[in-house]
Amino acid sequence: MRFRRTARVAVCSAAFLAGLFPQVLAAQNATTQEAPAPVAVAAQAPSSSVQAYTLPPDKLAKAIAISRIRNILNIAGSVWGIVFVWLLLATRAWAGLERWAQEISGRRWIQGVVFFATYLIIGALADLPLDWIGEHYERRFGISVQGWGSWLGDVGKTLGLTILIGAPILLLFNWIVRRWPRRYWLGIWVVTLPILAILTFVEPLFVPLFFKQEPLAKNHAVLVAKLETVVVRTGIDIPPDRMYLLKAGVKYTGINAFVAGIGATKRLVMWDTATDQLPDDEVLFVFGHESGHYVLHHIPKGFALSAVGLFFVYAACAAFAVWMVRRSGARWGTTELSSRTGFVVLLFSISIASFLLEPVSNAVSRHFEHQADVYGQEAIHGIVPDPQKTAVAAFNALGRSWLDDPNPSPFIEFWLYDHPSAQHRANFALHYDPWANGGHGEFFKN
């Protein structure tokens, strides 16, 4: 449904926080394939006056308030990340860091590890104030119930994994720039693809560092038996021993579920807040939605899209970085892109591209999520009494638990939302009835 990437950031931030590429590595994100046309009776277009997702007045006021805060922090965080790197370039701080690393050791690889580990630490410290403000308001509005000590512990774990994974990746990429100064971006692109695949595979293995988890069947055997009926209908290869319950309630009150991993690490993860707050029929819909990401091959499609997109992004950013070094490199303390300060210029150019391309990535993700919504509603047809009512209720519960704004600004939804808004999802579910008059859905024939 929605993976607020608490654990995922720990694994992927090694590359993403460094500004290497847009956040397109997600089991439920990124495809360019259009949804298939309805086979029989199409869903009616939701009326603009319909409010399938509603909040009581007190929650509505809170949802509007915290949504504004989240949006401001989201945009401010992206802009600040770019400005911060530029400021340290303009003040020659990165050049000073490079000289300091050279004084520590005569071995280039040790210099590189020191430089890039420090680079990642500085970036994390720069982000910390905005992260703290965000956590403060999530706590104030009752979304987060995590203690500050635990929160700081998660920040530390994330930073540790970022350094452990990110520093070697940056060191490798910097070596490629030195080794192939003219076509280095192509070498980086080639290396990026297996890194993305490996991160997708190992991602679920890091979740226990942040949350306790256990087999879903341990305390929800009846629910697992019901989920098996959806498994039979969808043909998804997720047996009960790959269904997990995440003990997220000690940190968050919001409802969540996600699919993660590929091959041997593929799994469904339900937050305990979802199993505690949702009736079984709505959990079946959530499972159907998550199954859709696998059945519709969203991971390989997203990977293919990422590969194509990154090819052009890397090529463009390489040219932009060369131009910046020629224009401002002397003032920044570097004349070569192959130097570590010059490599920061390359990362700077990619971070700008990532920010500008965020609406594209999010639009693709929203389309992907919409497909999964349709699939989930069709997957429970004939299993629950009323798929429309069940899906609408699930979206309402999801939105209420996170205090989602029922009427977000179209611009905010376009730029920041990687899922359709709760209102759009609920409105569509309310009107989606392809089985009327003997029809059938997009993905199921019955």
Give me the DSSP letters along 402-429.
HT--SS--HHHHHHH-SS--HHHHHHHH
Q: Which domain holds residue 290?
A: 6-20+39-438
Confidence band, pLDDT 50/70/90 cuts, at residue 15: very low
Confidence band, pLDDT 50/70/90 cuts, at residue 49: low
Handedness of CA 174, 175, 178, 179 (dihedral sign): negative
Task: Name, in order, each residue with C-beta under 8 angstroms of 356's C-beta and a sequence gap of 6 or more.
Answer: none
Maximum distance among all alpha carbons in the chain? Answer: 77
Is there a domain that residue 34 lies in?
Answer: no
pLDDT at 48 over 50: no
**What is the per-residue DSSP string for 145-174?**
---HHHHHHHHHHHHHHHHHHHHHHHHHHH
pLDDT at 10 over 60: no
Which H or E element spans position 369?
Answer: helix 340-379
Which pLDDT score, from 0 to 100, does residue 1 have?
A: 53
Is there a domain that residue 278 lies in?
Answer: yes
Is there a domain that residue 33 lies in?
Answer: no
pLDDT at 14 over 60: no
Dump pLDDT digits (tens) for 51-65.
899 999 999 999 999
Task: Name, in order, each residue with C-beta under 8 angstroms of 72's C-beta and a sequence gap of 6 or more.
Answer: none
Is there a domain that residue 327 lies in?
Answer: yes
Q: Could you give the CA distance from residue 425 to residue 166 in angstroms, rounded to a whole number?
A: 36
Angstrom CA distances, 173 to 132, 166, 169, stand at 31, 11, 6
Which pLDDT score, from 0 to 100, does residue 50 have?
A: 66
Which pLDDT score, from 0 to 100, does residue 445 have?
A: 86
Is there a domain that residue 234 lies in?
Answer: yes
Dump pLDDT digits (tens) for 193-229.
999 999 989 999 999 999 999 999 999 999 999 999 9
Q: Could you give the CA distance from residue 353 to residue 161 in angstroms, rounded to a whole number?
A: 25
SS (H, E, C) 171-189: HHHHHHHHHCCCCHHHHHH
Q: What is the dihedral of CA 175, 180, 183, 187, to 10 degrees?
A: -50
Residue 263 burial (CB count, 10 A): 8
Considering its fold, how many domains does the chain have in total? 1
Residue 38 contacts residue 430 (beta carbons within 8 Å): no
Residue 203 contacts residue 260 (beta carbons within 8 Å): yes
Dump pLDDT digits (tens) for 350-371.
999 999 999 999 999 999 999 9
Q: Could you give the CA distance from residue 329 to residue 338 in angstroms, rounded to a whole number?
A: 12
Which pLDDT score, from 0 to 100, does residue 328 have?
A: 96
Which pLDDT score, from 0 to 100, does residue 13 have?
A: 37
Whole-model pTM: value is 0.87
Q: Which of 174, 188, 185 is nearest to 336 (CA)?
A: 174
Site of tokens 């998804």: 236
Q: Give the ranges where 235-339 is alpha helix by DSSP (H).
A: 272-277, 280-295, 298-332
Which pLDDT score, from 0 to 100, does residue 376 have?
A: 97
Q: Could you give the CA distance from residue 412 to residue 416 in angstroms, rounded to a whole number?
A: 6
Tokens (6 digits) for 260:
């993660």
Give buried/exposed letters for 232-249 (b at 16+ CB in 10 A, else e).
ebbebebeeebbbbbebb
Task: Name, in order, each residue with C-beta under 8 angstroms of 308's C-beta and a sequence gap of 6 or more.
Answer: none
Is there a domain that residue 201 lies in?
Answer: yes
Q: Does residue 53 sit in helix, strand or coil?
A: coil
Dump pLDDT digits (tens) for 119-144.
999 999 999 999 999 999 999 999 99
Is there a domain that residue 30 lies in?
Answer: no
Is there a domain that residue 309 lies in?
Answer: yes
